[in-house]
Structure 1
Amino acid sequence: MSVPPGAGPNPHAHADFTETFFVLEGEVSFKSQLGSYVAKKGSFVNIPKGGIVHGFKNLSDHPAKLLCTVTPAGLDDLFEEMAEFMETALSNKESEMKEKIMAIFEKYGQQMFPPDYLD
């Protein structure tokens, strides 16, 4: 995945999936209920199955590139739907965008939390 500068998902949880990230380019701050970690190129991050609240943010001035795997399969549909929405979202009001993003995440079994939940 490509994560624009300053971007990344709000804290969220998904009890039925294990998610892993390998940082290919950039510097990304990962936060979870267990703490925080700045992952640089070559870093590996594991979010275990069970619903741990987590999120991340690109700290660099360039898009960060992450290799993300999710097991079992199925969450890729969320990423595809989110990418399609974001490509056309520029004309939407911020409140409409937030509502649509929440609806997409909930559709795929994700639990969302406020941006400052892990601060």
Structure 2
Amino acid sequence: MKCWYLLKTAPGPHSHANFYESFYIVEGEVEVHSEAGSYTAKKGSFVVVPEGGIVHYFKNVSDLVAKLLCIVVPAGLEEFFEEIGQPATPGEFLPPPPMDSESIKKLQAIAQKHGQILYPSNFLDQK
């Protein structure tokens, strides 16, 4: 599965044991955090998150909207994005959804259904 990320914000710490994902940074700078350490990926960088469930997250650290080409193997993660997302027009950025306890539980259940585990935002800080 291929998808594009246009980032002002980004997903929090998460893992997925049954697929790997890779990112090619087209524009901007993205800070990648994982159990293995941290790395600032700049334009032209290629980042691989291996299969096996390593906890990771990334965030935009540039003034630009970061553009990432994401490749997930095997395909199927697009069903997760379709279930949690809202349609938007090209270039439109929707505000982040509310993250009250009910919304978090719903998101965790959907993530689990699609082979992902979500962690608290400070999870990797505790390592």
| TM-score, with structure 2 as normaliser | 0.80
Residues 72-111 of structure 1 mapped to structure 2, 5 A cutoff: 72-84=74-86, 93-95=98-100, 96-111=102-117
RMSD between superposed Cα atoms in Å: 2.4
Segments of structure 2 that go 5 or more residues without pairing to the other structure are: none
Deviation at 1:55, TM superposition (A): 0.5
Regions of 4+ moved over 4 Å: none
Structure number with the higher helix fraction is 1
Tell me the percent identity.
Answer: 50
Counterpart of 2:29 in structure 1 is 27
Residues 1-119 of structure 1 mapped to structure 2, 5 A cutoff: 1-4=5-8, 7-84=9-86, 93-95=98-100, 96-119=102-125
Deviation at 1:83, TM superposition (A): 2.3
Going from structure 1 to structure 2, the CA distance change for 1:2 and 1:93 (only over 3 Å counts) comes to closer
Segments of structure 1 that go 5 or more residues without pairing to the other structure are: none
Aligned length: 116
Going from structure 1 to structure 2, the CA distance change for 1:83 and 1:93 (only over 3 Å counts) comes to closer
| TM-score, with structure 1 as normaliser | 0.85
User: CA separation in 2, counterparts of 1:113 and 1:85?
Assistant: 26
What code does the residue aligned with 2:111 have? F
User: CA separation in 1, counterparts of 2:107 and 2:65?
Assistant: 21
Q: CA-to-partner distance for each residue in 1:35-79, whole Å, 9 max, x for gaps?
A: 000001100000010001100011122221100010011111112
